[in-house]
Every structure is written in structure tokens, then in C-alpha cells.
A and B are shown apart, each in its own frame.
Chain A
Amino acid sequence: MTGSAWGVRWRRLRFLLASYVGLAPFLAFALFPFYWMLITSLKADANLYDLRSNPFWFSRVDGATGQPYHKDIIVPASLTAGPIRWEIRTGAATTRSDSAVNPPAIAWIGDQKVLSPVDGTLAEIRVPTGQVAHPNEVIGVIHVPNPTLTHYRYLATTPFARWMQVSLVTGAAVVLITLVLAVPAAYGLARLEFPGNRGIGIAIFLTYLIPPTILFIPFSQFVGALRVDNTIWSLILSYPTFTVPFCTWLLMGFFRAVPKELEERALLDGATRLQTLRMVVIPVVMSGILTAAIFAFTLSFQEYVYALTFISSTVNRTLPVGITVDMVRGDVYFWGPLMASAVVGSVPVVILYALSLDWFISGMTTGAVK
């Protein structure tokens, strides 16, 4: 008897094991882009552009020299008495101790370690007692911290928060408009008998197939005529042109799956058509409506062409446009800040999905008709 109990348990374990082993490649495939985004956003520039380091993880030493990543601290030519003034040169960028952001912080003579003004990391500065540093002499190095939050701190100096706000507000407004239009439209097309019912359904789907790249020029005319160009309203009004058809099509499927008897019983129970929709049909297709809402939000959150053409002022940009305009200059991609904004930008979507996961699952298991 115990043997068979063990057998059952072993078989169940084997089944679980096989399932997870089978699913592992999919998980890796799905998660890899996020992993790449995350480590890129946390890597110091020195590591990021070091082609000889292991790209899949953080490196502490330069792949070419074997030295830790560092920046030289140099005594500038305009050396005066008093505290040593310094500057840090990394490529084209220079940080000076006399700039507003980096007040002269070194008030000592001799071998000491002091807090560097950059990153709050330890700098080693070696100037022998009494000795005067010569101009352009390297008096120390700053260890580049890796991983680092530099790129995230950089975001605070851009209108990133504002872009996020524009994207979130647009997304929320678009979801609202989409649901208000698509839910009744989908219900009507799925359930009510009227001439042209099928044709309209297909026409709605076809409008979704027209790519925005064809439509943005005529749309800019509308946007101009309505005098909403360069405002968030241009997006709130134009995004539903693709979210409404898509969500209507999506929701029609969900409404069709609701058994007719459920509505018929509600009608007999004393409900009007609208009460039936509100009290029976909509709760039953709630998972579908949530799916539509998430799609609408994601579609509007990631939209690029309309946002790029309709809005020119920096403060009214959406996240995708703001990021690409501000963090790609010419042909230089600032990968760190780019990926940092991608990480922060994906947070709302992740939260949305996480919150509605239970709904999805409960929606899929509500087989309560038979």
C-alpha cells in the first residue's frame, strides 16, 4: 500500500518536474529582455562600453588593462593656494571642483582618503605633505562604482516624471473612452440582431488593420483644426481611433461566449436590457473587459508616431518620445539612462498586470453554466 502511495507521489513529482523543465526555456526567453534592460540600466558607463568585459554580468575591472574602472583626478592648470582644486576628465565630460554642483571638498595636505563629490564613492588622492601639485598632474583616481544608480539619478535631472505623468494620464483617459465606447458596441454587434450587423463587425476590424503611419498626416490636420495640437488632448482624442476598434473586436468574442440563456433568464427575472447588461453580462465578461482595458492602456502607453508628430514641446511629451528624443542624441545612444527609463516606464504596466492576474484566472475558470 505504501509502495503505491509513494508511486503516486513520485508520479506527481515527476509530472511537476517535467512541466517545469519544459517551461524553463519559455521563462528564460520571456525574461531575458527584462534582465538585459535591468543590468544595462545599472552598469557604469565604463563597464557598458567596455567591449572586452562579460556583457551578461557586472565587471569590476577593465577588460583591456585589467585595472579597476576609474577616473583620473587631475590638478587643473589654474592651481591656486588653499585647498587643492581638481577636475575629473572622462572622455569629453569634465567635472570641476569649482562648479556649483561640486564645491571644493578637499581641505587637507598629505596621503588621505576623502569622499569624492562624484557618486559619493571613495577617491584616493595622494599628494605628499608640503608638495605642490603640478598642473595636469594626476593626483588621484575615483573608483567607478559598478553596479551604480547614476543613470537613475540622471533621470531626475530630465523631465522624466512629467513624461510619465503625461503617459499615465493619456493612458487612463484612453482606457476610459475606449471602454465607454467599445463595451456597448461589442455587446450590440455580438448580440443584437440588426441589418448589417456582420458587415459592421468586419469593417471595425478592418479599421484596426490600417497602420497609424498612413493616418498620422491626415490626423495632424484634424488635430490642428481642433486646436489641440501640442497638448495632451491631441493624444486622448486620436488614440481611441485604434483602441476602440481593437477592443470592440476583442470584446465581441467575450460577449459571444456568454450563454444566451443567462440573458434570457435575466429578462424573465425582471431585468431590462440595460439591467441585464449591467448586472449579468458585464460581471460575467469582467475578465474580458479587463483584458481590453489593459490592451488599450498598453497600446496608448507605447504609441510613438502620433505622440511624436502632434506634440513638440518638451514638457508635453509622452514617455517613449521623451526618452528617445532626450536620451539619443545624434547617433549616440545613452544606454544607461535609456534602459533606466525603460525600467521605470514599465513599472505601471507591470503593476496593472499583477493586479489583474487574479481576475484573468478567475475569468478563465468561471465555467458555471453547465
Chain B
Amino acid sequence: MADVTFEKVEKRFGEVYAVRGVDLAIRDREFVVLVGPSGCGKTTTLRMLAGLEDVTAGDIRIGGRSVTHLAPRDRDIAMVFQSYALYPHMTVEKNLSFSLRLRGVPKAEIDRRVQDVAKILGLGEHLQRKPRQLSGGQRQRVAVGAALCRQAGVLLFDEPLSNLDAKLRVHMRTELKRLHHSFKSTMIYVTHDQVEAMTMGDRIVLMNHGVICQVGTPLELYERPATRFVAGFIGSPPMNFFEARLVAADGGAAVELGGELRLPLPRPELAAQAGRPVVFGIRPEHIVLGEGARPGAVRVPAVVDEVEPLGHDAIVTARCGAGVFQVQSEHYAGVKRLDQVDAWFRMERAFVFDGENECAI
């Protein structure tokens, strides 16, 4: 069993908190992604789990056993580094088997595991090469393979795909997910790329300024963001935000954007809080362009600033009285710069955040 528990874990560098009050329970064989902007503490958290950074306070347990004060090699952990960290003087085979040789695994067993991993990762022909003779993608596979060979209970990834080109990155994403299904390790994956987080994680841990903002499945984070930060971080293109005020209207509630635009909310209970300053948020994919009323959608007249066609749909940047917003819409044929358009805000998918603490209301 390799479940991982963080209990009130914190890390200080002098007076500066890198990580503070992290409580997190990761189940055995789960694929968890730590995501957040750079400097949010995700890598520090991972390195504390690996034993590469001291823990200032709190406790980390793997499989119920406290590892807070154990040396890295006693933690049943393998890690794939961002820079791959291949031993340049060793062949691929020696790189894969290094940890096994150190641990005194019998020769036959080492060979079997190396062959297995090489086969799965398609490294069979390259076993006798040195890392400098390999391409970036191949090096990355060797790094992953070396971690897999260990058959450690917990596998850590520190932004492993960030040095690959876009196409290879997408490919390796799928590959890693496939590996997670066939290997029996708990995997913890650090990235700053929300697309990687969304596509790979069983659960996502979103961090900012050293604290965890929200933990949940990708869809939970997408559909029920706890704060404005989470809402803005998850989803691409990012959610549109407007400074707004709650108002009561027609027996229900509405938000008032920029003092003039009134959008009715399908949440009548908010009418009681009329006058409260809020942030109104709606995702680009929940705004529809075009004419004619849509059920549950509110019309906002706007002027087109820019159209970025992607093929199937386009990202349209438009401007209304309350500010600039983006729309991701399939109905972009014939839409040009400076056109007058109707943007239909699907209010049932809209979010309201507190104006002060930015928590979801």
C-alpha cells in the first residue's frame, strides 16, 4: 500500500513560507497532479515528499509510515526529473538498472525488469547507447523507464514533459496515462500546465502562494471552482471576469456589470444580498455568438476586436459596455473585426465570486 498523507506540512526558507499548512490524502495507485503557477510551492511539496527538502513542520506518511525524517532512499519513492537527470557516463541499460544494482537485486531479476521496461517504452534498440546519443524524446523515456524499473510504491514526476516539443508532449501525456494503468504505483505529477493537469489527473491539487486552493477531480475543479483563482486557472482560454454588483430584479437576482448591463442569475436566493460587490465569471465556451434567443441565455451586445480561428471553432475577443471578454464559438463564420454581434451568456454556467475574498458564492 502506498497511500500518501501530508499533515499540516510547511516549509520555510528563512522568513519566507514556500509551503504552508498542506493537508492532503492521496490514495494508493491514484494519479494526482499538483498544479499551479510558478512559485506556488508545488515542486517544493514534491521535493519534501521525495526527501530532497527538509520539512519545517508537519508530517508526511507513505503507507501509514512516517517518512518525514527518512533518507530519500528509504522512502520507497522514484522520481522523474524535469531535466531527466540521466547519468551521462552510463548506457541506457545501466541508467535503467542503476537503482536495482544499488539495492542488490539479483542479476536475472534486473535483466528481466530492464527488458520489460525497455519493451514497454520502445527502448529495446537503444540499450547500449549513451544518453548523449539519444533524442529528447528518447531521453525522456529513459528517465521514465529508470523510475519504472524501481517498482517503487510512489512515482514522482517533476514537470517531466516541459522540455519536449508540443507534439511529443501530447503523445507522452497519453503514454504516461497508459503506464499508470499498467503499473501499480501511486503517481504524483507536478506541472504548471493546466491542460496536462486536466487530461492526466485522477485528481488535481491546485496550489497558489504555498497553500492548496482546491482538491478535486478535473471536472469538479472545472464545474465547481472554489475561488476566482481556481476558476481562472482551470480552463483554456481562461474564464472572463467582470467587476459587478448583486442586485434584485424581477423577483430574482441579477448581476450588474459596469453600472449598466444587468444579467439575471438563475439563483433567486442571492436577491437577499443585493448591493454586495462581486466578481462575475463566465467561461468563453459558455458564451454563444449569433442571433436569436437561446433558452437560459442572456443577450449582450458587443463589438468584435479580434477573431482567432482554430478550425472547428474560433476564439473571438469582443468588447461590451462592461469590458473585454473572450468567446469560444463554433458560429464564427463571417464574423469580422469591428462587427456588431450578439453574445449570448449562458447564465446557468456562470459563476459569482465574493468581491473581497474571491470565494465562490
Binding site for B on A (CB under 8 A): 259, 261-262, 264-272, 275, 279-280, 283-284, 286, 365-370
Contacts and interface: CB of A to CB of B under 8 A. Distances in A.
B85 A264 contact: yes
A368 B132 contact: yes
A270 B102 contact: yes
Contact of B85 (A265, A275, A365, A366): A265
A78 B230 CA distance: 117
Contacts of A369: 83-86, 88
Interface string B338-356: 0000000000000000000
Contacts of A266: 87, 98
Contacts of B98: 266, 269, 279
11 contacts: A261-B81, A265-B85, A266-B98, A267-B71, A272-B73, A280-B87, A283-B87, A284-B87, A366-B132, A367-B88, A369-B85
A275 B102 contact: yes
A268 B77 contact: yes
A365 B88 CA distance: 10
Contacts of B102: 269-271, 275
B136 to A, nearest CB: 8
A361 to B, nearest CB: 13
B72 A368 contact: no
Nearest to B158: A261
A261 B132 CA distance: 17
Query: Secondary structure of the A side of the interface?
Result: helix
Given A267-B52, A284-B88, A284-B89, A367 B163 contact: no
Contact of A370 (B52, B71, B84): B84
Nearest to B89: A283
Interface in B1-55: 50-52
A264 B81 contact: yes
Interface in B126-144: 130-132, 136, 139
Interface string B42-82: 00000000111000000000000000000111000111011
B150 interface: yes
B103 interface: yes
Bin chain B's interface residue count: 20 to 34
B99 interface: yes
B73 A261 contact: no
B345 to A, nearest CB: 46
Contacts of B78: 268-269
Nearest to B52: A264
Contacts of A368: 86-88, 130-132, 139
A261 B47 CA distance: 11
Contact of B81 (A265, A365, A366, A367): A265
A284 B90 CA distance: 10
A283 B83 CA distance: 19
Contact of B87 (A262, A270, A272): A262
Given A264-B52, A369-B83, A271 B73 contact: yes
Contacts of A270: 73, 99, 102-103
B71 A262 contact: no
Nearest to A262: B85
Q: Report which residue of A264, A279, A280, A366 has the largest number of chain B beta carbons within 10 angstroms of its beta carbon.
A: A264
A268 B136 CA distance: 23
A366 B90 CA distance: 11
A286 B88 CA distance: 12
Contacts of A283: 87, 89
Contacts of A268: 50-52, 72-73, 77-79, 99
Contacts of A370: 83-84, 136, 163
B274 to A, nearest CB: 56
Q: Report which residue of B85, B131, B132 has the largest number of chain A beta carbons within 10 angstroms of its beta carbon.
A: B85
Interface string B142-184: 0000100010000000000001000000000000000000000
Nearest to A259: B83
B287 to A, nearest CB: 41
Contacts of B163: 370
Nearest to B75: A268
Contacts of A261: 81-83, 85
B49 to A, nearest CB: 11
Contacts of A367: 88, 132
Contacts of B99: 268-270
A284 to B, nearest CB: 6
A370 B52 CA distance: 21
